[in-house]
Structure 1
């Protein structure tokens, strides 16, 4: 069959066009990113981690859609430093936020050392998650507790719902006094913040970054009145028996269910990377985390180990658990990986977890560190599992490598060493019988101090009158 020159040109053009389309890489749609950072939620304050007292069906169901980390940590044991670590992806010595307010907490006569001065506002020299995402086409929203400055809009957020320098609301019922937020249909603060967050999701085109960081379940314990009787009539379980606190947990769970339903209704759940964690351990006077020792403010496991999972349809493995130790420092590089953002100028201390989340690797061979050159007084001197009854934290550092965890105390240069695979409750100090392992971890810690220029308090406090009272294991 003869083909005219004109037809031949047309056919060749079509073939070239089809061929070019076939080899052209498909442009990936950037995922929406939902980062859920609960305030003061302990490791076992949710059903999927084993609580039989608190009811969290929505969070539990969401966790089954992704990978749950049983060894998930916050990089600090209380609110502000943990949040600074999460946002910057940096260890505490690099940003200098070690606690809330002053580092001189507790009676001066009981503090042997002059602690390192604390930074209370995150320096703007640090590049944080929303800044990078906004520069790469994301609309960014902060909803709830910020705690790192007066105004999160100065740190890369387009929208701020209720965030300021305050670490807690004066009340969950109006007037909230120290929480600035527009009125809505809901009055209870957790409900109102979610109402505004849902409006953001409803009215914002993809891709977006929503940092959902509710004040709940931090004190004050303001119960959801309609739920109190339910929990008063419920059998306590494993140190969890606070009915009013339980109502706040259940209400938080209900709100997270509303957010997940909204993502699904809009057809964007499958293209949303969801991270769920908490900023530190549960407040020991309110909620317990057995077999973990102690709670918020302590660097025993109860103060830093968190409920932690990732969800991303068809990318993150679903309905699986991992015992790989991770930290909230890893969130920043992992978000960048899934958002397709390459920024070699950023020097982050965390690791991109995508290879673990996708099942390509099953181990991360690295040490984790915590540094707290400060004092944090006991919340309740007669009810704690810390090293002494006066402080949740005395100045020191911690390193975890594999199953081994070492605590080092600056006041007396003492060491505690625990094998977490056999002693997750940190009751059996092995520092005198595992001398080689102790020296190995001390060497890691000393090198890390030098690498991060970590401040080590050495100046004696002239007001010191006391003794360091031990609570024996």
Structure 2
């Protein structure tokens, strides 16, 4: 059990659901629901509860079920075995703030306009000074308004009478501005009090689940702990297992992954103990990848990069009796999470959401590509995504194309055969000019980013 620190346990603060119901319009898609007013829930006697687990800075290979020889993840291994698990999942951007904004909206960063972690920063101003300045507050407010301009999962689920709880990583102000009815984060960078979840306590989630259950309401839990994210401060009882297996920085990261896995186990066990597992759809994704620098606390060629080490993640969907467990090599993306959740809840995705319902085997089988783009960590232009663009990328079958923009360090497009070269070290673009051109046309058809 993870004990709370005395005096620090954050308490969920509710806001009126009626306020959420009026937040955003909802548009029905033709042919997928009975006729009714826009945003109306389909008839379903018992909509599922929803638990969304989001790992933070977690490499796609660093799970037992993905074949890692040392990292122990028994709870995520069990979840994978009980889920429709996509081993070739992706996030469109390898940086947490835009990645999380995509998960909560079902939109690409160039659609929701949150492309980096921080607003524009004056040259030469130290981070500490910038984060305390009015410029930072004003820029962050502009980013939050971008989020408020589009429908979010909690606000849309509120139309189906859902209560929703935010915990862990959250960049966009107070949790209520994302449409949550309950939550922990009050508005500071990264997530302030919300970051206690997992590292300090799991009780706020358990209390929320009890409240929603007592009211007979379906619930949505956003569980995005600051794990295995730095600081890598795992319990000694976990770190001891990895000492001697790898350099100290890597051993600490591996122990952090196991610590995160333990918290997931507690959350899943809680659903079992309350008899809720059969009525709950559980989904899993990592916000971006991570390859630990063996010589220090940082990362190498992963987070913030256009390579799979920063973009690839397993994606899982567990719904006992409703989703058949299987390991799938089909392509999936975090843009699919919002439409999957909404459809499972009997609600319609908005027309702007480009993702698929991952439960729809035909739609998944019919997809041949996934797309994304990487941007500057610190935004240059809050309103023009292309001004912050570093690279666009796409995966088509076994092939991966990366096309640099003006801000990129890459001199030319790169092409990789992911089946033969998963580490993306052997650029095949010079041998395959026709494939590069054809994939670039497909990339332009997805988003032909205007020159800034």
TM-score, with length taken from structure 1: 0.73
Q: How many residues align?
A: 379
Give, in whole Å, the separation in 1 of the partners of 2:378 and 2:419: 28
Q: What residue number does 2:327 align with? A: 321
Q: Does 1:224 align with 2:235?
A: yes
Question: Is the contact made by 1:276 and 1:310 (CA closer than 8 Å) also made in structure 2?
Answer: yes
Q: CA deviation at 1:120?
A: 4.0
CA contact (8 A) 1:70 1:322 kept: yes
**SS class of match (1:429):** coil
Larger Rg: 1
Q: Measure, in 1, the Cα distance between the counterparts of 2:232 and 2:399.
A: 36
Runs of 4 or more, structure 1, over 6 Å off, are 103-107
Evaluate the alpha carbon distance shift between residue 332 and residue 160 of structure 1 in structure 2; reply closer, same or farther with a 3 A threshold.
same
Where does residue 208 of structure 1 map in the other structure?
Answer: 219
Check the 8 A contact 2:289/2:311 in 1, yes or no: yes
Partner of residue 392, structure 2: 397
Deviation string, structure 1 residues 378-401 (Cα, Å, up to 9, x no partner): xxxxxxxxxxxxxxx982211222
How far residue 68 of structure 1 moved from its aligned partner, in angstroms, is: 1.5
Cα distance in 2, alignment partners of residues 190 and 355 from structure 1: 32
Q: Secondary structure at the match of 1:371?
A: strand
Q: CA deviation at 1:189?
A: 5.3
Counterpart check, 1:303 vs 2:310: yes
- Indicate the residue corresponding to 1:332 in structure 2: 338
Q: Does 1:128 align with 2:152?
A: yes
Task: Indicate how the Cα distance of structure 1 residues 373 and 267 shifts in structure 2: closer, same or farther if over 3 A, else same.
Answer: closer
Question: How far, CA to CA, are the matches of 2:251 and 2:219 in structure 1?
Answer: 36
TM-score (norm 2): 0.76
CA 1:97–1:27 in structure 2 vs 1: closer, same or farther (change >3 Å)? closer
Q: Conserved in 2, the CA contact under 8 Å of 1:143 and 1:193?
A: no
Check the 8 A contact 1:106/1:376 in 2, yes or no.
no
**Pair 1:352-2:357 in alignment:** yes
Q: For the Cα contact (< 8 Å) 1:284–1:296, is it kept in 2?
A: no
Q: Quote the Cα distance in structure 2 between the aligned partners of 1:257 and 1:96.
A: 35
Q: Note the residue ranges of structure 1 that are not aligned, 5 or more in a row.
A: 1-24, 108-116, 169-177, 182-187, 378-392, 458-473
Aligned partner of 1:158 among 170, 181, 190:
181
- Equivalents in 2 of 1:369, 1:217: separation in Å? 26
Q: Is the 8 A contact 2:249 2:293 kept in 1?
A: no
Query: CA shift at 1:180, angstroms?
Result: 6.3
Cα shift readout 1:278-336 (whole Å, capped 9, x = no counterpart): 00001432699xxxx93111111101001221111112111x21111111000000111
Change in 2 beyond 3 A, CA 1:413/1:441: farther
- Mind listing any 5+ residue stretches in structure 2 that lack a counterpart? 1-41, 125-138, 380-387
Aligned pair partner of 1:420 in 418, 421, 431: 418
User: 1:180–1:448: structure 2 CA closer, same or farther, 3 Å change rule?
Assistant: closer
CA distance in 2, matches of 1:89, 1:150: 19
Measured in 1, the distance between the counterparts of 2:182 and 2:400 equals: 40
**Counterparts of residues 12-91 of structure 1 (less than 5 Å):** 27-91=44-108
Show CA shifts across 1:82-102 (max 9, x none).
Answer: 011111111111122222115
Instruction: For residues 322-370 of structure 1, give each alpha carbon's deviation from its aligned partner in whole angstroms, at most 9, with x where no partner exists.
Output: 1111110000001111111125x542021111113xxx56613243222
Kept in 1: contact 2:87–2:328 (CA 8 A): yes
Question: After superposition, where does 1:138-217 map in structure 2 within 5 Å?
Answer: 138-147=162-171, 149-162=172-185, 164-167=187-190, 178-179=192-193, 190-205=198-213, 206-217=217-228
Change (3 A) 1:278 1:164: farther
For the residue of structure 2 that corresponds to 1:314, the secondary structure is coil
Residues 88, 331 of structure 2: 8 Å contact kept: yes
